[in-house]
A and B are shown apart, each in its own frame.
Chain A
Amino acid sequence: MKFTCLSKDLSGLMAFSPIPTSLDALLFEESNNNEKRHKIEDLLDAKSLIFAEPWYKTVNNLHLWNASLIDVILISSPMGIMGLPFLTRRKGLSAKIYVTEASARLGQLMMEDLVSMHAEFRQFYGPEESNFPPWLRQEELEILPSVLKDILLGKDGVESGGWTPMYSAADVKDCILKIDTVNYAQEVCYNGTLVIKAFSCGVEIGSCNWILDGPKGDIAYLSSSCFFSAHTMTFDYRSLQGTSSLIYSDFSSLSDAQDIEDGDNNSDPTSDTLLPLSFQDMDESSLNSDENLEEKEKLVFICSCAIECVKDGGSVLIPINRLGTILQLLEEMTTSLEASAMEVPIYIISSVAEELLALLNIIPEWLCKQRQERLFAGEPLFAHVKLQKEKKIHVVPNIHSHQLLMNWQEPCIVFCPHWSLRIGPVVHLLRRWCGDPKSLLILEDIVNPELALLPFKPVAMKVLQCLFPSGIGLQKVQPLLKTLQPKTVMFPEDLRLKTSFSCEKSFSVSYYTEAEPLKVSCQKDSSELKIAADLASQFYWKTFKKEGINVTRLKGNLLMENGRHHLLLDNNKKTSESNSSLVRCGLADYNKLLPALSEMGINASIEIVKDDVESQNVCLVHTKEPYKALIEIGNTSTVITTADANVASILYKAIDNILDGV
Chain B
Amino acid sequence: MAIETLVLGAGQEVGKSCVVVNINGKRIMFDCGMHMGYTDHRRFPDFSLISPSGNFNDALSCIIITHFHLDHVGALVYFTEVCGYRGPVYMTYPTKALSPLMLEDFRKMVDRRGEEEQFTSEHIAECMKKVIAVDLKQTVQVDEDLQIRAYYAGHVIGAAMFYVKVGDAEMVYTGDYNMTPDRHLGAAQIDRLRLDLLITESTYATTIRDSKYAREREFLKAVHKCVSGGGKVLIPTFALGRAQELCILLDDYWERMNLKVPIYFSSGLTIQANMYYKMLISWTSQKIKDTYSTHSAFDFKNVHKFDKSIIDAPGPCVLFATPGMIRGGLSLEVFKHWAPSEKNLVTLPGYCVVGTVGHKLTSGKPTKIDTDPDTQIDVRCQIHQLAFSPHTDSKGIMDLVKFLSPKHVMLVHGEKPKMASLKERIHSELGIPCYTPANNETVSIPSTHYVNAEASDTFIRNCLNPNFTFQKCNSVDTCNSTLIDRNLTPELQVEDERVVDGVLVMENNKKAKIVQRDELLLMLDEKKHEV
> A-side interface residues toward B, CB under 8 Å?
182-187, 197, 215, 239, 354-355, 358-359, 361-365, 372, 375-376, 378-381, 525-533, 536, 539, 541, 544, 546-558, 561, 565-567, 570, 572, 575, 582-588, 635-638, 640, 652, 655-656, 659-660, 662
- Whether A361 contacts B499 in the complex (CB less than 8 A), given A533-B451, A546-B524, comes out as no
A365-B497 Cα distance, complex, nearest whole Å: 44
- Identify the interface centre among B128, B505, B521: most chain A CB within 10 Å of its CB: B505
Is there contact, CB below 8 Å, between B521 and A637?
no
Q: Can you list 10 A-B contacts with CB-CB less than 8 angstroms, sorted by A residue number?
A: A183-B138, A185-B138, A365-B133, A378-B272, A525-B457, A528-B453, A530-B451, A552-B506, A585-B521, A588-B529
Is there contact, CB below 8 Å, between A364 and B139?
no
Q: Of B208-216, B277-285, B421-429, which binds chain A? A: B277-285
- Whether A575 contacts B499 in the complex (CB less than 8 A), given A583-B521, A652-B531, comes out as yes
- Whether A364 contacts B499 in the complex (CB less than 8 A), given A184-B135, A530-B451, comes out as no
The count of A-to-B residue pairs whose CB atoms sit within 8 angstroms is 204
Shortest C-beta distance, A502 to chain B (Å), equals 30
- Whether A362 contacts B278 in the complex (CB less than 8 A), given A378-B97, A557-B498, A585-B527, comes out as yes
A522-B452 Cα distance, complex, nearest whole Å: 20
| Residue B504 CB within 8 A of the other chain | yes
A585-B520 Cα distance, complex, nearest whole Å: 10
CB under 8 Å from chain A, chain B span 487-531: 497-508, 513-514, 517-518, 520-521, 523-524, 526-531
Q: Give the chain A neighbours of B527 by CB distance below 8 A.
A: 585, 635-636
**Shortest Cβ-Cβ A-B pairs, 5 listed:** A530-B450, A585-B526, A550-B506, A529-B455, A355-B293
Which residue of B296, B497, B506 is within 8 Å of A575 (Cβ)?
B497
Shortest C-beta distance, A327 to chain B (Å), equals 16
Is there contact, CB below 8 Å, between A183 and B513?
no
Q: Scoring B residues 89 to 126 as 1 if CB is less than 8 Å from chain A, else 0, what string do you get?
A: 00001001100100000000000000000000000000
User: In the complex, which range does the number of interface residues on chain B fall in?
Assistant: 35 or more
Is there contact, CB below 8 Å, between B531 and A640?
yes
A175-B517 Cα distance, complex, nearest whole Å: 48
Q: Give the chain A neighbours of B507 by CB distance below 8 A.
A: 547-550
Q: Give the chain A neighbours of B500 by CB distance below 8 A.
A: 554-558, 567
Helix, strand, loop or mixed for chain B's interface? mixed
Q: Give the chain B neighbours of A585 by CB distance below 8 A.
A: 520-521, 524, 526-529
CB under 8 Å from chain A, chain B span 428-480: 448-457, 460, 463
- Identify the interface centre among A183, A531, A637, A640: most chain B CB within 10 Å of its CB: A531
A640-B531 Cα distance, complex, nearest whole Å: 8
CB under 8 Å from chain A, chain B span 336-355: none
Shortest C-beta distance, B215 to chain A (Å), equals 30
Is there contact, CB below 8 Å, between B93 and A365?
yes
Shortest C-beta distance, B47 to chain A (Å), equals 26
Q: Give the chain A neighbours of B96 by CB distance below 8 A.
A: 376
Q: Give the chain A neighbours of B279 by CB distance below 8 A.
A: 361-362, 364, 375, 380-381
| Residue B13 CB within 8 A of the other chain | no
Is there contact, CB below 8 Å, between B460 and A532?
no
Q: Give the chain B neighbours of A364 by CB distance below 8 A.
A: 93, 279-280
Which residue of B135, B449, B457, B498 is within 8 Å of A533 (Cβ)?
B449
Shortest C-beta distance, A104 to chain B (Å), equals 13
Is there contact, CB below 8 Å, between B281 and A527?
no
Which residue of A184, A376, A555 is within 8 Å of B499 (Cβ)?
A555
A588-B527 Cα distance, complex, nearest whole Å: 12
CB under 8 Å from chain A, chain B span 232-275: 272, 275
A359-B506 Cα distance, complex, nearest whole Å: 58
A588-B531 Cα distance, complex, nearest whole Å: 10
A363-B283 Cα distance, complex, nearest whole Å: 10
Shortest C-beta distance, B409 to chain A (Å), equals 20
- Whether A549 contacts B506 in the complex (CB less than 8 A), given A376-B128, A378-B272, A526-B454, comes out as yes
Is there contact, CB below 8 Å, between B529 and A638?
yes
* Closest partner residue, chain B, to A531 (CB atom): B451
Is there contact, CB below 8 Å, between B133 and A372?
yes
Q: Give the chain A neighbours of B49 by CB distance below 8 A.
A: none
Is there contact, CB below 8 Å, between A551 and B503?
yes
| Residue B168 CB within 8 A of the other chain | yes
Q: Give the chain A neighbours of B508 by CB distance below 8 A.
A: 548-549
Q: Give the chain A neighbours of B275 by CB distance below 8 A.
A: 378-379
* Closest partner residue, chain A, to B513 (CB atom): A526
Is there contact, CB below 8 Å, between A572 and B450?
no
Which residue of A363, A525, A530, A659 is within 8 Å of B168 (Cβ)?
A530
Q: A364-B93, A364-B280, A557-B498 are in contact. List 4 more A-B contacts (CB 8 A).
A: A528-B453, A585-B520, A585-B524, A636-B528
Shortest C-beta distance, B284 to chain A (Å), equals 10
Q: Give the chain A neighbours of B531 by CB distance below 8 A.
A: 584, 637-638, 640, 652, 655-656, 659
A586-B460 Cα distance, complex, nearest whole Å: 26
Q: Scoring B residues 15 to 32 as 1 if CB is less than 8 Å from chain A, else 0, what string do you get?
A: 000000000000000000
* Closest partner residue, chain A, to B101 (CB atom): A378
| Residue B276 CB within 8 A of the other chain | yes
Is there contact, CB below 8 Å, between A365 and B135?
yes
Q: Give the chain A neighbours of B135 by CB distance below 8 A.
A: 183-186, 365
* Closest partner residue, chain B, to A526 (CB atom): B454
Shortest C-beta distance, A395 to chain B (Å), equals 11
- Whether A378 contacts B529 in the complex (CB less than 8 A), given A533-B448, A555-B499, comes out as no
* Closest partner residue, chain A, to B446 (CB atom): A533
